[in-house]
Structure 1
């Protein structure tokens, strides 16, 4: 029964693990109907939704010299690889207006995000009801978003005032970021009917892009500006990049050389601790390797093509001597693609990823995602102690990263391990706690119950 159970759980683990489609604004939570748990009382209600408090991120730990290079590559390139001739940003106070069928959690999470942007990045941004707001954030039904831009769960475009304006101009050159001289208007489109966590993730990613960097870099392990989608909430590095974007030393229209000349003194002022950190060697990440990873993540590619690309990314990363974070992510992507197909290869891939992430700085969250995968194998094998060892540290990391879906799933795995050890009272309390987080991470009650049932199904029947 192990392989069929792991096959059915592959959808669950994919929904918790941030391996995106290779498209803009890509993030998603798989959904399905569900039954009530065999352990919890039959009830039409779940515990109240739990949410994270608004809190500042820990400051970045890398050297300012490294982060200056990161800033230049983030600010002067698009995700497509095209160079941008000048820096663009908003000049002066920025206003933001909500539109569409806005879910309650979206308004709450946006309020917290705006407070963080003001306090941590020093950006003068505020909510308004003015139709001519600098940025419009519109909640649109997922079906409408998918019909217009099939590969994007959420996205941002310049020079647009809302959804209808986008539909009328989506093939216009006006939507090209490279043609801007200064940012004056943008619209962000977010699925109104997604899980609260997905909505929040979209707010963080797309608003950060509307304000600042338009590029993502695979070498960044401590940032949302990375196509691996590991970080979903703006980090200390991200806030430093945004603070630098809006520093008085810079302005729209500056060239890369002009910005580069000002960055050392600017970062020394904003982040004095970064002056004392030694510069670590950062291997260049070839575009060919990035394309392999992107193909391995792209749902539009065939399963075979995705697996071959992931395997090639593993081999190339090793041959090129890429960092442990990049090698680990390639193994992680390969392991997920082998779930439900080849148990041995999937397990080996996750074990390799875990070793590499453990050896790299700033990859504790990456390691937590791998721990989730390894916990599934350990639980299906009846190894309760291994599940507890894997989930304990990962739960702490998921909490700090504000990833409710990951947190809830880890807690449910831990509860099933406690049941294997006969500690049912502890397991019951942990399940109740996890379901509050699951409501934020997964959304609909049916999906929450389905996730719970799938994880329970991995626990071996040790009765008799």
Structure 2
């Protein structure tokens, strides 16, 4: 599917495009473009399920892992970035990164495109509330829902996503055209995306924005919420080695696993510090992994 040129996008104000979870009487009617995307994504989910993917279990029976594998996965996922900027555009290229995480409370807010159905909004709010409890317990870091968020989660249908630039600039002044273009021109093979912002360039996140396609069927939308919110906490990369994990692009697991909760526990352990280089963080995280897995040093 091609993307419209900027001049072809509907002229809408930020409040027309995205509305908060409360305060509306009824949802707008999705466009034909959005309905077409919904049909495509329903087929994607069906095909994944037919291939025994999008698992909703923890994988504890058939995907055991050792402390060495946990530490190796932490290295790949938390100490590398998935994207880099080349010629003003984000390009998928794994690059080593200092340890990054939040050192202030994370306040998550949900916003919905005007055409996202109310019933769907209720499901997404429930999903995020349940996820936040797991994430806060795993990370041992304050994470909550808030009407004054520093972590914005936008659930958008096609027309809303393609016109979301002004709203993104409201949320994160100076967000940059590369990030806006990545969202507005997102190919249909990209199901969701998150950006976390480190204004002091010291590994300390202060804001994040996640974009979730509103046309996703329930399980894929829930999967996107799990992955992007968790990635926005500092687990920024994916690796094909990670199992059982949502940080693996093969879509085997749809929802946060115990393995992923352990990655968060490592990331937010006080022995690690924001801005640590991979070389310094690596032996510390390996020791924490051994402790979590009940193995001796």
TM-score, with length taken from structure 2: 0.63
SS at match of 1:96: strand
SS at match of 1:258: helix
Superposition deviation, residue 215 in structure 1: 1.3
Superposition deviation, residue 214 in structure 1: 1.4
Taking the aligned partners of 1:85 and 1:233, their CA distance within structure 2 comes to: 25
1:192-271 equivalences in 2 (<5 Å): 192-271=214-293
Superposition deviation, residue 259 in structure 1: 0.7
SS at match of 2:81: coil
Q: How many residues align?
A: 214
Taking the aligned partners of 1:238 and 1:92, their CA distance within structure 2 comes to: 21
Pair 1:124–1:107, CA change in 2 (3 A): same
Pick from 90, 96, 99 the counterpart of residue 87 of structure 1: 99
Pick from 157, 160, 178 the counterpart of residue 141 of structure 1: 157
The reply to whether residue 182 of structure 1 matches residue 237 of structure 2 is no
Larger RCO, structure (CA 8 Å, separation 6 or more): 2
Pick from 111, 115, 120 the counterpart of residue 133 of structure 2: 115
Taking the aligned partners of 1:81 and 1:180, their CA distance within structure 2 comes to: 21
Query: Does the 8 Å CA contact 2:74/2:263 hold for their aligned counterparts?
Result: yes
SS at match of 1:17: helix
Taking the aligned partners of 2:138 and 2:196, their CA distance within structure 1 comes to: 24
Q: Tell me, which stretches of 5 or more residues in structure 1 are unaligned?
A: 1-10, 20-26, 29-51, 161-173, 277-464
Taking the aligned partners of 2:187 and 2:280, their CA distance within structure 1 comes to: 38
Query: Does the 8 Å CA contact 1:96/1:125 hold for their aligned counterparts?
Result: yes
Which residue number corresponds to residue 80 of structure 2?
Answer: 77
Taking the aligned partners of 1:182 and 1:262, their CA distance within structure 2 comes to: 19
Superposition deviation, residue 206 in structure 1: 0.4
Query: Does the 8 Å CA contact 1:100/1:139 hold for their aligned counterparts?
Result: yes
Taking the aligned partners of 1:129 and 1:56, their CA distance within structure 2 comes to: 32
Which residue number corresponds to residue 127 of structure 1?
Answer: 145
TM-score, with length taken from structure 1: 0.42
Taking the aligned partners of 1:12 and 1:182, their CA distance within structure 2 comes to: 37
Deviations 1:427-448 (Å, cap 9, x if unpaired)? xxxxxxxxxxxxxxxxxxxxxx
1:248-397 equivalences in 2 (<5 Å): 248-272=270-294, 275=295
Deviations 1:115-141 (Å, cap 9, x if unpaired)? 1112234332001111xx220111211
C-alpha RMSD over aligned residues: 3.2
Taking the aligned partners of 2:272 and 2:136, their CA distance within structure 1 comes to: 18
SS at match of 2:102: coil
The reply to whether residue 98 of structure 1 matches residue 104 of structure 2 is no
> 1 or 2, which has the higher helix percentage?
1
Taking the aligned partners of 1:238 and 1:155, their CA distance within structure 2 comes to: 18
Pair 1:226–1:203, CA change in 2 (3 A): same
Taking the aligned partners of 1:67 and 1:214, their CA distance within structure 2 comes to: 16
Taking the aligned partners of 1:136 and 1:91, their CA distance within structure 2 comes to: 17
Pair 1:121–1:18, CA change in 2 (3 A): farther
Taking the aligned partners of 2:266 and 2:42, their CA distance within structure 1 comes to: 39
Q: Which has the larger radius of gyration?
A: 1
Taking the aligned partners of 1:269 and 1:92, their CA distance within structure 2 comes to: 26
Pick from 141, 144, 155 the counterpart of residue 193 of structure 2: 155
Pair 1:180–1:195, CA change in 2 (3 A): farther
Taking the aligned partners of 2:214 and 2:42, their CA distance within structure 1 comes to: 22
Taking the aligned partners of 2:79 and 2:275, their CA distance within structure 1 comes to: 11
Pair 1:193–1:16, CA change in 2 (3 A): closer
Query: Does the 8 Å CA contact 1:220/1:226 hold for their aligned counterparts?
Result: yes
Deviations 1:190-246 (Å, cap 9, x if unpaired)? 123432222211100101110122111112231111010111101111111011111
Query: Does the 8 Å CA contact 1:56/1:116 hold for their aligned counterparts?
Result: no
Deviations 1:406-460 (Å, cap 9, x if unpaired)? xxxxxxxxxxxxxxxxxxxxxxxxxxxxxxxxxxxxxxxxxxxxxxxxxxxxxxx
Pair 1:94–1:144, CA change in 2 (3 A): same
